[in-house]
Amino acid sequence: MSGDVVEVGIDENGLGPRLGPLIVTAVAARVHASATSRRAALLRPRGRLRERIGDSKDLISFGDSALGEAWARVLSGIDEGPDAVVAALAVDARTKLREPCPDDHAAQCWNTEGEGWEAPAELSATLRADRARLERRGLEILGAHVAIVCTRRLNESAARGVSRFEVDLHAMERLMLHVRDLHGTEIDATCGKVGGYHSYPAVFGPLSGRLVAVVEEGRARSEYSLPGLGRVAFVRDADASHLLVSLASLVGKWVRDLLTRRVTRYHRAHEPSLPEASGYHDPITARFVAASALSRRARGVPDDCFERRAREGKGAPRA
């Protein structure tokens, strides 16, 4: 429809932990010309809907990500099981994601034994009603897409001197191009701010070499126009203020927690006394890493597939 705009909200989950993958998620929506205003359609909801769409840090936690799971099921349209939802959301095929996996320990990241749904059916029904309500207001949510960057890929980038901030940014760029190609139109993308960057073009990866017009650059917001892609804005605290970024945060948090629990479950099967760890920099994760060291070494689990390490020549992000 003339006047419609494809909006995209992008956010990351798991940039700083010790264990588990980095997840970058995009949620795309068509804002119809009939909407009262694009800005109003994309604002974080008010009232009861705010309890179901918001910053994942406020609404869900490790071990309690039912809300993120339910949104992932609703936006993917898949209900066969958690692994099927991840496969539907992922922008990379399973064969590509498994390429770096050692044959003897692929189950560390891909064992689905014991996985099931946590969210009650009533919650999914409520979220489907929420989605329909948003569409009546002119915001048609088109779907969610996830880029998964495993620990080994993060460590390979670190060895090349590429920071996690750059890996995060490049995954965001891939998702923008994916959504643009999927819908065949330029997009308006809003991303959470990446690291300490004020200026982004010099550190672009997939978008490098393109014509870029600077709209504004600053601590709170950096915005660009790229012919053939559309508008891209990096916004501080976008996950707390932009509806699509909030949804991306919720879905990505569930995907990261699911994949991180696979890692801990794999090692706990060999060492049942190991604690259930979130993978973040906390005492329980530190105990998990230390207590699993002998078992991992005895079984030949590569360190680069287990724990992240700092990049070579570590320093502050380039501005």
* Total count of domains within the chain: 1
State which residues form the domain around 28. Answer: 5-261
Using the Cα atoms of residue 192, residue 195, residue 197 and residue 203 in order, give the sign of their dihedral: negative
Residue 242 forms part of a structural domain? yes
Split at pLDDT 50, 70, 90, the class of 318 is very low
Task: Cite the beta strand spans of the chain per DSSP E.
Answer: 5-13, 22-31, 139-149, 187-192, 213-216, 221-226, 230-235
How confident is the model over 214-243, as a mean pLDDT? 93
Evaluate if residue 167 carries a pLDDT over 50: yes
Nearest alpha carbon to residue 253 among 9, 94, 15: 15
The stretch 200-214 carries a mean pLDDT of 96
Q: Is 318 a member of any domain?
A: no
Q: How confident is the model at residue 316 (pLDDT cuts 50, 70, 90)?
A: very low
Inform me whether the pLDDT recorded for 151 exceeds 90: yes
- What pTM does this model have? 0.92
Q: Examine residue 291 and state whether it is found in any structural domain, yes or no.
A: no
Which residues make Cβ contacts (< 8 Å) with residue 204, sequence separation at least 6? 169, 170, 173, 210, 212
CB 86 within 8 A of CB 258: yes
218-245: average pLDDT:
93
**pLDDT-derived band of residue 173, with 50, 70 and 90 as boundaries?**
very high
pLDDT over 90, % of the chain: 74
Q: Are 28 and 183 in contact (CB under 8 A)?
A: yes
Q: What would the mean pLDDT of 187-209 be, rounded to a whole number?
A: 93
Residue type, 50: R
pLDDT of residue 63: 65
| Residue 268: inside a domain | no
Q: Is the pLDDT of residue 256 over 90?
A: yes
Q: Which of 44-48, 84-88, 237-241 tops mean pLDDT?
A: 84-88
Share the mean pLDDT of the chain.
Answer: 90
| pLDDT at residue 313, rounded to an integer | 53
Mean pLDDT for 179-206 is 94
Domain membership flag for residue 256: yes
Separation in Å, CA 59 to CA 55, 91, 177, 305 = 7, 26, 29, 30
CATH number at residue 185: 3.30.420.10
Predicted confidence band of residue 279 (pLDDT cuts 50, 70, 90): very high
* pLDDT score for 79: 87
Is residue 204 domain-resident?
yes
Q: What are the pLDDT digits (tens) for 84-143?
A: 999 999 999 999 999 999 989 999 999 998 899 988 889 999 999 999 988 888 889 999
Lowest mean pLDDT among 37-46, 59-68, 190-199: 37-46
Q: How high is the pLDDT of residue 317?
A: 46
CB distance 8 to 189 below 8 Å: yes
Place of tokens 């009546």: 136
3-state secondary structure 117-185: CCCCHHHHHHHHHHHHHHHHCCEEEEEEEEEEECHHHHHHHHHCCCCHHHHHHHHHHHHHHHHHHHHCC
User: What residues contact residue 164 under an 8 Å CB cut-off, 6+ apart?
Assistant: 15, 16, 22, 154, 157, 158, 308, 311
Of 265 and 56, which is predicted with more confidence? 265
Res 2: pLDDT: 58
Query: Residue 54's pLDDT is what?
Result: 65
Interval 273-293 mean pLDDT: 95
Where do we find the tokens 């959470």?
192
* Average pLDDT over every residue of 198-209: 95
Does residue 12 lie in a domain region?
A: yes
HSE (CB half, 13 Å, CA atoms) of 71? 33
Q: What is the pLDDT at residue 55? A: 60
Burial of 262 (0-12, 13-18, 19+ CB in 10 A): buried
Mean pLDDT along residues 307-318: 63
pLDDT at position 240? 83
Asked if 151 and 164 touch (Cβ cutoff 8 Å), the reply is no
Does 287 fall in a domain?
A: no
